[in-house]
Amino acid sequence: MEYKTSSETYSVPVENTSFHKLLQMFSVSILVSFIGTAVGSNFAEWGLSWMFLPLIVVQLIMLVSAFFFRKNSRPVGYLFVYFFTFLSGVTIFPALNHYINVGGPGLVMSAFGITTVIFAVLTAYAYFSKRDFSFLGGFLLVGVIALIGLAIVRIFVPSLGVGMLGLSIAFLGIMIFSGFVLYDISKFKHGLANEMIPLAVLCLYLDFINLFLYVLQFLGILSSDD
């Protein structure tokens, strides 16, 4: 199937149900994350605020496990993926609460709306474009390592997260995870084995949620400077 333009730079990949299923399951992962956030918002009331850090550790262990599964082309189940997205929703609540205090609920909603638009546009572009974005892999890996390094330094130098420097780091995060959307959609658009869909869902979820957090950070710094 071809989608003609004057420059003929776009094409529609062969119809495949696996990619459509991937997007459907990804949408479910976002919904499960919302549920997790709703649960996390009650942790203080339930006297469970101390649970956030242990749950983050559990997430890190699950991510390392998922990395080895992916490296060895071994599948993970939907239960694994949705448990992870639920925990993710729980553990991002403190960050959301911080930005609600900075700019109100509208700030968080704006960040989510912007993220959704960016994700949708990049997904459509990567899906219909003839371009192969696999070349981004090495650059994106270096970028993630840089972001992790900056996050560690920020623990000891909090000023790294404010002002123009903070905006620059947030913008770098937005660019890197926008690149991951292009990279992953380009990789998945031609179809994938049914048993590998859960792992692909996890990849897209991580792209979306990290993009959202950096957009939120960017808007939060702008709001605090007003």
Strand partners, 10: 129
Within 10 angstroms of residue 36's Cβ, the number of other Cβ atoms is 23
State pTM to two decimals.
0.88
pLDDT digits (tens, 9 = 90+) for 108-119: 999 999 999 999
Q: Which amino acid does the sequence have at 132?
A: D
Domain boundaries, the chain: 17-225
Tell whether the model's pLDDT for residue 37 goes beyond 90. yes
- Is residue 226 very low, low, confident or very high in pLDDT (cuts 50, 70, 90)? low
200-217 in b/e burial notation, b at 16+ Cβ within 10 A? Answer: bbbbbbbbbbbbbbbbbb
Question: Quick one: pLDDT at residue 156?
Answer: 80
Tell whether the model's pLDDT for residue 15 goes beyond 70. no
Question: Quick one: pLDDT at residue 181?
Answer: 97
